[in-house]
Amino acid sequence: MTDENSLIDRIIAGEQQLYAELINRYKGYAFTIALKILQNRPEAEEAAQDAFIKAFQSLAKFNREAKFSTWLYRIAFNTAISYKRKSKNIFQSIEDVHAGQHQEGEGKVEHDDKKRFIEQALSRLSDADRLAVNLFYLQEFSLEEIADITGMQANTVKVRVHRARQRLAEELKSILQKEALTL
Amino acid sequence: MNEENEELRKFTDKPGGENDELGAIDRYLKSVRIEQPSANFTQHVMSNLHRASAAALGLPSRNKMLMLAGILVTIGIAILLLAGGAFESVTTITVDQEILPNNQIREYIPTIPFNGKLVINIVILMNLALAFMILDRAVLKPWFERRRHA
């Protein structure tokens, strides 16, 4: 924490190149947060990059009482939400199509189908619910941290995670029923 | 709150969950790992930081400066017109003629005096307040911020 604070001080003082260290440290989570909201890799990457630039711009205003990571993830969350509002177009990236094609034909069709159905059910959740559930299951975040990132109360996060799980189960059930009918 | 964290985690850790769907969801969500962006992610952000540096230096944005200039020009024109006596005469707005036929409304509707000079003075004052706010946000605040970090 102290190391991080001194690093931030040096960046603010003008050692701009040190910011790369912070990017490398947190890019995975920032990108994952954006991806869970946008559900599109190129867009998520752009949003995550934008979040890091915004964080750099506001670095001097960063309140040291909070964790830098939580503050950054909040920026990533808000940036991803605004990206989603800007472009409501849902498109599947070429990368994702390729990934799907590679997985098929490996004798894992059933497993992949289930995964696809769960992802479909997840996409029906609200952005905040989907992110809260994903962050919670990543085991790295406490309810308080998830609350800070998403701008909710910790108790609300707890209720949301619980309800989102139930809703996911219901959605999955209805998807599976529809699939069974089309067979 | 840590107890609540543990409680919820224990709840989601139930093997198989309450039904098949919940079990499948729990297993899937637990298998989700951190996604990694492309290899040139850091490089890309670093190369775009110059954009951020300009903002951090507190250079006023072009739009704000144009808006400020526009407001000042408007104030200037309004003052010139006012000084030239363009709004000296008191106009009246009459509503009981032509618009409303007299056989429907018996009572006399008074004319409303419209003091152009007063209205323009109010507009100038409001513009001045707006110009000061923009000047503060676009020029003064960034300038003091830059001096603080220098």
Which pLDDT score is estimated for A25?
Answer: 92
The ipTM, to two decimals, is 0.72
Chain A and chain B share a number of CB contacts under 8 A equal to: 113
d(CA B21, nearest CA chain A) in Å: 5
Task: Give the percent of chain A with pLDDT over 90.
Answer: 21
pLDDT band at A130 (very low <50, low <70, confident <90, very high): confident
When scoring B2, B3, B5, B44 by the number of chain A Cβ atoms within 10 A, the one with the most, hence best to mutate, is B5
Q: Residues of A with CB below 8 A from B25's CB?
A: 118, 121, 165, 168-169, 172
What would the pLDDT profile of A66-121 be if each residue is shown by its tens digit? Answer: 889 889 999 999 999 889 888 764 444 434 444 444 444 444 555 667 778 888 88
Which of the listed CATH numbers 2.60.40.1120, 1.10.490.10, 1.10.1740.10, 3.40.50.10440 matches domain A2-86?
Answer: 1.10.1740.10
How do the domains of chain B map onto residue ranges? 2-52, 60-149
Interface test with B, best of A12, A31, A174 (most B CBs within 10 A): A31
Nearest Cα residue in chain A from B11: A162
Burial A52-90 (b: 16+ CB within 10 A, else e): bbbbbbebeeeeeeeebbbbbbbbbbbbbbebbeeeeee
Per residue in A16-56, pLDDT tens? 889 999 999 999 999 999 998 888 899 999 999 999 999 99
**Which residue is closest to A11 within chain B, CA to CA?**
B53
> Best mutation site among B29, B31, B61, B145 for testing chain A: the one with the most A CBs within 10 Å?
B29
- Is the per-residue pLDDT at B21 higher than 70? yes
Contact predicate B22/A169, CB 8 Å:
yes
Residue of A nearest to B149 (CA): A13
Domain boundaries along the sequence of chain A: 2-86, 104-182
Cβ burial, residue A122 (10 Å; 0-12/13-18/19+): buried
Report A:63-92 residues touching B (Cβ under 8 A).
none
Searching chain B, which residue's CA lies closest to the CA of residue A144?
B1
Instruction: For domain A104-182, give the fold.
Output: Arc Repressor Mutant, subunit A (1.10.10)
In terms of Cα–Cα distance, which of B73, B77, B57 is closest to B65? Answer: B73
Contact with chain B for residue A161, Cβ under 8 A: yes
Residue range B142-148: mean pLDDT, rounded: 73
